[in-house]
Amino acid sequence: MYVILVYDMNTKRVAKMLKHCRKYLNWIQNSTFEGEISKVKLTEMLDLAYEIMDDEEDSIIVFKSRSKDWLDKEILGFEKQSTGQIL
Could you report the per-residue pLDDT of 61-83, keeping only the tens digit for each? 999 988 777 777 676 676 766 65
Q: What is the pLDDT of residue 33?
A: 97
Q: What is the pLDDT of residue 26?
A: 96
Helix (H) or strand (E) holding 6: strand 2-8
Q: What is the pLDDT of residue 66?
A: 81
- For domain 2-68, the CATH class is alpha beta
Q: Which of 3, 13, 78, 77 is nearest to 50 (CA)?
A: 13
Which stretches of the chain drop beneath a pLDDT of 50? 85-87
Does this model's pTM top 0.85? My answer is no
